[in-house]
Amino acid sequence: MNKIYYFLTLCIFIFFEINYSYSQDNKQNSTPDSTIRHSFEANLQELLKEEVDYENLWSNARVMTASRSVERIGTAPATIYVVTDEQIRQRGYTSLEDVLGDIPEIEIQQKANTYTNSYYSIRGIGGNERFVILQDGIRISSITGVLHPVQHNFAIYHAKQIEVILGPASALYGADAFSGIINIITKNGAELKGAEINSSFGRFNTADNSFVAGAAIKDISVLIYGKQYYSAEPNFPKFYEEDFDWYINRYQTNGEVLASQFVPDVTKTVQIEPFAMPTQAYNVGTKVGVGENFTVGFTYHKQIHSTSVANRPEYTLFKKDIRYGTNLTNIYSSFQRTIDKFYFRTIASFNSFTVDENSNFENVYSAYQKGYKYASESTFQFDQQFQYHFTDNTNITFGVLFQNSKALPQTGDLPLSYDANVLKFSTQQYYIGTNVTDSLGNDLSIFQDFYWTQYQNYGVYAQFKTSFAERLYLTLGTRYDYNTRYKGSFNPRVGLVFSPDAKFNIKLLYGEAFLAPSNQKTFQQFGDFIPTTNNNNQVTGFTLPFFHLPNLALRPERNQTIETNVSYAPTNNLRFSADIYHNKLTDVITDVIQFDKVFKGIEVEAAEVPTNQGDAVTYGGTFQIIYHKKIGDWKAHTNLAYSYSDGKLNGQQLPLSAMHTLRLMGEFSYKNFDFTPSILYRTTSYHTTFKDDAGNALGNDPFWVASLYAGYHLKEKITIFTRFRNLLDTRYYNTSVPNVTTFVGVPQDPLRWNIGINWKI
């Protein structure tokens, strides 16, 4: 760890010296060509200086994610959505999850997964590890592709705009840019010049507080931001009595739970404790800029939530200290320079992910004892990008990348919390329930395997962009990655954009992507060792009715996407758009039940093994209408989006993806008042583990849910606001990530409200 920090410090010093020396040598002779600077506006400062025309956002906004350089959204070779800082406040967003929940073709199943809480599907492709989160073009999500939450742990009040790309992007961004890219473009201290505090309190003892502050002295700017979130969460047995019937009538009465997921009539008794499943999250970060060319930054994201999320009460406990916590840290430095027609950007970053050492389960898999989890992964990454501009309309981008990763993949259920200070800790951890002796006094403990890994990744990418005819734009790109774990991967992209006039735009796009098998998927293991006894009730050994086994031979998943995107604006106030996509996925990693496996010398009756046996097809699209109007003191911005999604996974129903989704949002302003209502309608998303008598997959019921944000500006710098989520207090369900112990439909939050204040200092 110390070596990485020393290396980054050295990189920062060298980059600063280069920047200073070059500036001094060229201060007198430097006369930047305005045409060239416009062409190389991957320089973040140029993007931040532009005032966005919100009435024509979808045609005039500038973005930097689709091509790693700044361009108009209308000509960017991608299906891309932009959310501005003004919209973040107008809509009452407080987290990245809030933003993504309103993006068409992104479906979020809340309270659906033990490890991530909310589970994301983009265009029918499910998984939080299948998209990449960037900040100013630098990856801040896990570089090793591990599962982690994307909720309250990602702050957004420091954002100038958030760019969301739907579809594969491995041709530029490599592994895990499988279904999309999210890029948080941040402000800088020179632009902010002050501070902003956002604080609210609401139902279920929920507190949501954030701050952002910035300052500049000559050529040095500093941005600091942070977020804190806590919620006790609803007492679900009070709101969903039928779904929690077991909890109310069996657990609360006599502490009964089911002893096995395979034997429904065998119970055991545990201690009764009050219902609790709190959530807390933190996010802090800073960015320091020296001139327009050098930046160094730091981000830290933490979230802790209940590990009982989505599980039925007969199989798990709902206690305050049952929790799963993740820590995600990124330290980076970036240096960029434009010299005549040549632009380059150098990025060095260190990314670290850990599972909190106090993370634990108490459920049927851990025999209702505390089963602790731990994981540690770190990556150093060096990314060198070059761009050369032949003419105003033609340029080429070229880059090389190196990654070095070390990891302790997520462990099995540990009897003790992980402690790195304990000598040989990893060799002393037995599987829960095996630390017993037989009738002869022999120790029967079965010790766990810790899969320490280290690997490297080498990447090279190239992209050619040109406008070879008036209003006709072509993008050709490709990237090759070689990983010492799973060998090579080649990913091309092609984009053709035709814009005959300012009103009409059409995009034809093709791209490929790969998803590296994460350490968590490769090495994950869990299950329950059941003791066998003789006639004297003495333990003689163990059986394994079920165990999830690791698979070190996993290969990357592949995705090939064809899509088209059309938009038409008959007037400045009205815009129609539509996109259609088709994804073909191969080598999809799915859990397969096998019956011929042996683990630790014991035959596993039903072994769950991740394998590359999946193939999937997803297809669909979105039709959207955007209308903007200003009359006197009134401003109105309305957005109606209908999305269709369908497909098959291994010939069966596509899981965790609704066929029909309707989003309606209105943003209204009158003098000092802001008023933003929204409605979400979604049809059934399927679970697939559970099926009806006819063999059809089960899922949640279709639902409508409404929300409302309202704000009043007391003064220019003070806003009082309130937000209502699930405004009509609807009892609705999301679908859980498939597992035999989970709800088919997971009960969702009843009405949540909060009131707060936004203060600009």
Pairwise CA distance, residues 304 & 321, whole Å: 10
When comparing pLDDT for 527 and 655, which is higher? Answer: 655
For residue 88, the number of C-alpha atoms closer than 13 Å in the C-beta half-sphere is 24
What is the band of 12 on the pLDDT scale with cuts at 50, 70, 90?
very low
Q: Answer whether residue 423 shows pLDDT above 70.
A: yes
pLDDT at 703: 97
Percent of the chain at pLDDT exceeding 90: 69
Strands 574-594 and 526-527: unpaired
Cα 91 to Cα 85, 665, 672, distances in angstroms: 10, 9, 15
- Domain-embedded: residue 21: no
Residue 98: its H or E element: helix 96-100
Q: Answer whether residue 135 shows pLDDT above 70.
A: yes
Q: What is the 3-state secondary structure (H, E, C) of 20-49?
A: HHHHHHHCCCCCCCHHHHHHCCCCHHHHHH
Pairwise CA distance, residues 604 & 72, whole Å: 57
- Which residue in 326, 443, 417, 337 sits closest to 377, CA to CA? 326
Q: Answer whether residue 36 shows pLDDT above 60.
A: no
Write out the two tokens for 126. 């499910």
**Contact at 8 Å (CB) between 407 and 456?**
no
When comparing pLDDT for 123 and 13, which is higher? Answer: 123
Report the Cα 76 to chain-centroid distance in Å. Answer: 23
pLDDT at 60: 66
pLDDT at 265: 85
Q: Could you give the 3-state DSSP secondary structure of residue 293?
A: coil
231 Cβ contact list (under 8 Å, min separation 6): 204, 205, 206, 207, 278, 279, 280
- Exposed, middle or buried by CB within 10 Å (0-12, 13-18, 19+), for 443? exposed
Pairwise CA distance, residues 93 & 72, whole Å: 25
| Average pLDDT rounded to a whole number, residues 372-391 | 94
- Exposed, middle or buried by CB within 10 Å (0-12, 13-18, 19+), for 606? middle
- Domain-embedded: residue 1: no
- Domain-embedded: residue 379: yes
Q: Answer whether residue 6 shows pLDDT above 90.
A: no
pLDDT at 21: 41
- Domain-embedded: residue 7: no
| Average pLDDT rounded to a whole number, residues 259-269 | 86
The 10s digit of each residue's pLDDT in 43-94 is 455 554 555 454 455 556 788 899 888 888 888 999 999 999 999 999 999 9
Percent of the chain at pLDDT exceeding 70: 92
The 10s digit of each residue's pLDDT in 207-242 is 999 999 999 998 899 999 999 999 999 999 999 999
- Domain-embedded: residue 26: no
pLDDT at 24: 42
- Domain-embedded: residue 24: no
- Which residue in 210, 253, 216 sits closest to 228, CA to CA? 210
Pairwise CA distance, residues 11 & 553, whole Å: 36
- Which residue in 525, 527, 523, 551 sits closest to 605, CA to CA? 527
Write out the two tokens for 241. 């009595």
CB atoms within 10 A of CB 653: 19
Q: Answer whether residue 7 shows pLDDT above 90.
A: no
Residue span of the structural domain in which 264 resides: 32-760
pLDDT at 499: 86
pLDDT at 145: 82
- Domain-embedded: residue 23: no
Pairwise CA distance, residues 89 & 710, whole Å: 10
| Average pLDDT rounded to a whole number, residues 585-597 | 91
Lowest mean pLDDT among 2-16, 251-265, 492-506: 2-16
Mean pLDDT of the chain: 89
- Domain-embedded: residue 336: yes
Q: Answer whether residue 39 shows pLDDT above 70.
A: no
The 10s digit of each residue's pLDDT in 698-739 is 999 999 999 999 999 997 899 999 999 999 999 999 999 988
pTM of the predicted structure, to 2 decimals: 0.91
The C-alpha torsion from 52 through 57 and 59 to 63, rounded to 10°, is 60
Q: Answer whether residue 20 shows pLDDT above 60.
A: no
Report the Cα 104 to chain-centroid distance in Å. Answer: 16
Write out the two tokens for 619. 């297809």
We report the CATH number of the domain holding residue 459 as 2.40.170.20
The 10s digit of each residue's pLDDT in 438-447 is 888 889 999 9
The 10s digit of each residue's pLDDT in 492-545 is 999 999 988 878 899 999 999 999 898 888 998 888 888 888 888 888 899 998
Q: Answer whether residue 17 shows pLDDT above 50.
A: no
**Contact at 8 Å (CB) between 476 and 494?**
yes
pLDDT at 512: 96
The 10s digit of each residue's pLDDT in 479-493 is 999 999 888 899 999
| Average pLDDT rounded to a whole number, residues 635-648 | 96
Lowest mean pLDDT among 2-11, 423-432, 532-541: 2-11
What is the band of 184 on the pLDDT scale with cuts at 50, 70, 90?
very high
Tally of domains in the chain: 1
Kindly report the backbone phi and psi dihedral angles of residue 358, in degrees, each rounded to the nearest multiple of 5, phi listed first. -95, 5
Residue 462: its H or E element: strand 453-469
